Homo-oligomer: A and B are copies of this chain.
Amino acid sequence: MITLHDMTLSGNCHKVRLLLNMLALPYQIQPVNLGGGEQHSPEYLQRNPFGQVPVLDDNGFTIRDSQAILVYLAKRYGGVPWWPDDAYHLAQIAAWLSTAANEIANGPALLRVHHKFGRDIDLARAQQTADKVLGIIDRHLQSQDWLVGDTVSIADIAVYPYLALAPEGGITIGEYTNIIAWFQRIRALPGYVAMPGMWQVQIN
């Protein structure tokens, strides 16, 4: 059985929930009480010494880090469409996983942590990081439907949640029209699940 150590409002957890649902894999949720500090308990640190969600447990195989969990699920259960065998293709996916781990975590995701949860951050730097990465992604999506190749990959899944949640970080995501069009493509995928706070289509 797959168990996801999860926090409902975490975009990193949402990445994993998205792929689990798109792959139609059965799983159970184990909520982690971040407000109560459960992530710092000795038992949780055994699972993930970084004290973060998500953690995936697949029959005793424990994996930390949302990007790594996507790699695991894609390779183990996704088949070639989700885990291509070509080195160049894989490397392009890996580049976006790095972007998700760094610029997106320290740009849009950090701004959301500040605006939604009140954490003290270097606001100017997070805003600068967010502006840069959103601009790059929007230009990238001008000429292609998906971040890598001609189909959805874990690159899209890793990048999507904190962009769709960007309004909660005070970002006017609607300005990035290619990103918005890509949101619609992701939302049309079988198994797509939303979470509260995600950018919604404006119905006029």
Contacts and interface: CB of A to CB of B under 8 A. Distances in A.
Copies in the complex: 2
B64 A95 contact: yes
Interface residues of A, number: 34
A103 B64 CA distance: 14
Interface in A65-89: 65, 67-69, 71-72, 75-76, 87-88
Instruction: Count chain B CB atoms within 10 A of each CB in A67, A95, A97, A139 and give the residue with the most.
Output: A95
Nearest to A70: B94
A90 B69 CA distance: 10
A92 B63 contact: yes
A91 interface: yes
A72 B88 contact: yes
A39 interface: no
A87 to B, nearest CB: 4
A61 B90 contact: no
A50 B136 contact: yes
A47 interface: no
Given A49-B136, A64-B95, A90 B102 contact: no
Contacts of A67: 94-95, 97-98
A101 interface: yes
A106 interface: yes
Given A88-B61, A136-B49, A94 B122 contact: no
Interface of A: 49-50, 61, 63-65, 67-69, 71-72, 75-76, 87-88, 90-92, 94-95, 97-99, 101-103, 105-106, 122, 125, 132, 136, 139-140
Closest 7 CB pairs of A and B: A72-B91, A76-B87, A68-B95, A68-B94, A75-B87, A65-B95, A98-B101
Given A65-B95, A102-B105, 9 more contacts: A50-B99, A50-B103, A68-B92, A68-B95, A68-B98, A72-B91, A75-B91, A102-B106, A106-B106
